[in-house]
């Protein structure tokens, strides 16, 4: 499945920044939600089920989309004004995940340009993998639905290692699985914690300007090595 329109801001054009590779690039690692795949419709649908169960009107997708990369935490905060540490949060998170489990592949598709990007990476002999904070029980069904599970050289979920992003361990674990030096790997994500994880792992980073970046403030302030307006722009910083 392909063809989700790009979700990023219109004021980011092409590729901003550059990477001075100490050695040739060997691989690209990607975040999943808001970077490779547009999952906002299904995540937002899960939140709206919780809202309707509580007599609240569904929220429009345009309001939910910027918070999709923050998963249950961000969407429950937006839609129900309940946050980690609040008494209701864990029970609502459990209910949200149960609702998402029922709809996780209904509308999810790859963003425009992602399929061609992955085809090009493979044709050029570059490895690629996925590092997401999404729980493993959701990651694999989504990847299967997108036809990516068997193609990806590493699939690291939020509960695959002892720490999730922004800790570097998930990225370093993916590099171990791919058999590559982190300094030769580009990590691509649409959330500030993605860039923080890459920096902690001492690997180059790219901010996905097409992703769900609205709730994170100014993407230019994250400190990414490059900002890509669309997926195929990434090819220019791998040379």
State residue 215's pLDDT score. 67
- 3-class SS at 28? strand
CA distance 234 to 186: 9
State residue 1's pLDDT score. 41
- The pair of structure tokens assigned to 145 is 């639905």
pLDDT tens per residue across span 21-56: 989 999 999 999 999 999 999 999 999 999 999 999
Whether the full predicted model's pTM is greater than 0.75, yes or no, is yes
Q: Where are the domains of the chain?
A: 15-38+108-238, 40-101
Low-confidence residues of the chain: pLDDT under 50: 1-2, 5-12
State residue 13's pLDDT score. 52
Q: Which CATH superfamily is domain 15-38+108-238 in?
A: HAD superfamily/HAD-like (3.40.50.1000)
Helix (H) or strand (E) holding 72: helix 71-80
CA distance 3 to 202: 33
Partners of residue 127 on adjacent β-strands: 27
Q: Answer whether 226's CB lies under 8 Å from 16's CB.
A: yes
Q: What is the 3-state composition of the chain as percent helix, strand, coil, each rounded to the nearest 5?
A: 45, 15, 45
Partners of residue 29 on adjacent β-strands: 129, 187
- 3-class SS at 116? helix
Find the catalytic residue in 20, 31, 86, 233: 31
Tell me how far the alpha carbon of residue 187 is from its chain's centroid: 11
- Parallel, antiparallel, or unpaired: how do β-strands 226-228 and 15-17 relate? antiparallel
CA distance 101 to 140: 12
State residue 213's pLDDT score. 83
Question: Can 31 be counted among the known catalytic residues?
Answer: yes
């Amino acid at each position: 499945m392909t063809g989700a329109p790009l979700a990023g801001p219109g004021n980011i054009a092409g590729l901003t920044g550059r990477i001075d590779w100490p050695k040739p690039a060997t691989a690209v690692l990607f975040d999943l939600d808001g970077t490779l795949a547009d999952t906002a419709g299904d995540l937002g649908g899960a939140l709206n089920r919780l809202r309707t169960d509580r007599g609240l009107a569904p929220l429009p997708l345009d309001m939910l989309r910027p918070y999709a990369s923050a998963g249950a935490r961000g969407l429950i905060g937006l839609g129900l004004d309940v946050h980690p540490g609040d008494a209701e949060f864990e029970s609502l998170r459990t209910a949200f995940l149960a609702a998402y489990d029922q709809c996780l592949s209904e509308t999810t598709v790859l963003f425009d340009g992602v399929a061609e990007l992955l085809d090009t990476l493979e044709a050029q002999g570059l490895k690629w993998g996925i590092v997401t904070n999404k729980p493993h029980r959701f990651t694999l069904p989504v990847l299967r639905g997108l036809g990516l599970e068997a193609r990806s050289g590493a699939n690291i979920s939020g509960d695959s290692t002892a720490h999730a992003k922004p800790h570097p361990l998930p990225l370093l674990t993916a590099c171990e699985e791919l058999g590559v030096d982190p300094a030769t790997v580009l990590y691509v994500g649409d959330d500030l914690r993605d860039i923080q994880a890459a920096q902690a792992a001492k690997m180059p980073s790219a901010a996905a300007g097409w992703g769900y970046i609205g709730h994170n403030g100014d993407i230019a302030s994250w400190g990414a090595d490059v900002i890509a307006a669309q997926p195929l722009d990434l090819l220019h910083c791998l040379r």
